[in-house]
Structure 1
């Protein structure tokens, strides 16, 4: 894995909504997979837009390449080829820039925000396919929007043999409480304690509201402080720009509205609180645009002057 010399590391933003803004084919339940299947040139353009904004990591567009989004038949027929294509597109976009890394996305393969749907037996072959088809084109693994400890453990175990670093990004409940918890109800403290270390070199939080991320970081920092090898684990945040999502949310039933109250400037103010709380990786998830990422990159520039 290539190294980035200065912190914070700047991630990209939300692929789906950037595709929509570019006029790419975009709808549910296929989400960002629709453009890959119909007009892959839009995927490359979205990657380039985030790179031009200052992203130092671009994430492969494989999040929706699961039966949950594209259907079982299409997944069986085209899933492997589409996953490989997405990884290759990302790699091609950075071929002239050695400072950019490619994160191999491993999605919540049985459904976003639905820990109740998780099954190790059902998830393992899908995760294995994502690993096999991306491993030659990515610098490290980024497991995104993970709702439970069990799902994180499975991904940690399956990525370990690749000899690539793994970043696990959890999604937490959007209601603000004294104790930060995953969508499963398990505490962030317990999740970090059980997952951090070995091949997992970073713990992040994504696809939750901006308001709940600082609490998640505080809990994660506490857990790392209690681990003997926790000092070398990075922490990060890339929030979404959605209204709060509850346990009854159906992730592919419709296109969620973007919040009107979280501007580029407001998002960046939240990002500063994340940095103060211990984050060394920041970026954006659903609804976070290249303009948001450009502002985050300016924070990094100011911090390193």
Structure 2
């Protein structure tokens, strides 16, 4: 249940990596979307694990549901559009079923890099225009906007052109939305494609649908630097959900261990609150255990 006495909403953690922790195989090209296809009950169970840990928000298992990804996985061309729509709608239905009460359902809109971009959500090297990216995102956003989700959650966005495209498509959909980006490792003030976050702040501040902007799937220090930079140029509420500090090697599809030391997520909770973060949680490799610790740290702040 959401707690109005807390200064922010608690996001969930890494859904895909938690599914792996539960014994599911997410090593294929569809990642967590494979479990969505094969064993929907596991998606419900994983959402419930995060709710039990104290999360207010469930981020749906739609991040990697794309036509291109499904084609690559062997879905016939004649069926792929219908399969994609069915899975997108099912991802929201499962989260709603898992919530069974006063929780927020955020429909995940993954970036182009998580589909045919093949892992480029961390550098934005797409070679596409904003118009091309908008066209690619349009149908998926339209489908998710036509579900029981409370908001659309465009996340792990590495490119300013994709930020521009998504802002336009989210406004077209007319549903409340959050947009979260990835940043350059070691310099959280810059989008992954090298653009200053000042430009991201300008784009989202002009949106009619985006209600919050944030940074995700980077180290705690980089995500904190990113939200601080955004706060300089926008009054929108901020979202922050770092990963465990490990780096995803999309070529070999393995996690590279983080360097020792560095700011820890739980210790950084007061810093995130001071920076103006209103949605706080974790991304890849952040477990229900850490979500509980985040909630407890916020309650004690």
**Shorter chain as normaliser: what TM range?**
0.7 to 0.9
SS of equivalent residue, structure 1 residue 168: strand
Structure 1 residue 101 corresponds to structure 2 residue 110: no
SS of equivalent residue, structure 1 residue 102: strand
Q: Which residue of 2 aligns with 1:174?
A: 185
Structure 2 matches for 1:128-277, cutoff 5 A?
Answer: 128-135=138-145, 136-176=147-187, 180-197=189-206, 198-224=208-234, 230=235, 233-244=236-247, 251=250, 253-257=252-256, 259=258, 261=260, 266-277=264-275
Report the Cα offset of residue 85 of structure 1.
0.9
Gap regions ≥5 residues in structure 2: none
> TM-score, normalized by length of structure 2?
0.86
Gap regions ≥5 residues in structure 1: 225-229
> Which stretch shows the higher mean deviation, 113-122 or 23-32?
113-122
Partner Cα separation in structure 2 for residue 271 and residue 13 of structure 1: 15
Q: Which residue of 2 aligns with 1:53?
A: 53
Partner Cα separation in structure 2 for residue 89 and residue 256 of structure 1: 28
Q: Which residue of 1 aligns with 2:36?
A: 36
Partner Cα separation in structure 2 for residue 35 and residue 61 of structure 1: 9
Report the Cα offset of residue 32 of structure 1.
0.7
Report the Cα offset of residue 194 of structure 1.
2.2
RMSD: 2.5
Structure 1 residue 12 corresponds to structure 2 residue 12: yes
Number of aligned residue pairs? 286
Q: Taking structure 1 as reference, are residues 125 and 93 closer, same or farther at Cα in structure 2, changes over 3 Å only?
A: farther
SS of equivalent residue, structure 2 residue 86: helix
Q: Taking structure 1 as reference, are residues 242 and 215 closer, same or farther at Cα in structure 2, changes over 3 Å only?
A: closer
Partner deviation per Cα, 1:147-167 (whole Å, 9 max, x = no partner): 122211211211223332111
Q: Taking structure 1 as reference, are residues 154 and 101 closer, same or farther at Cα in structure 2, changes over 3 Å only?
A: same
Partner Cα separation in structure 1 for residue 267 and residue 22 of structure 2: 27
SS of equivalent residue, structure 1 residue 103: strand
> TM-score, normalized by length of structure 1?
0.85
Report the Cα offset of residue 267 of structure 1.
1.9
Report the Cα offset of residue 12 of structure 1.
0.3
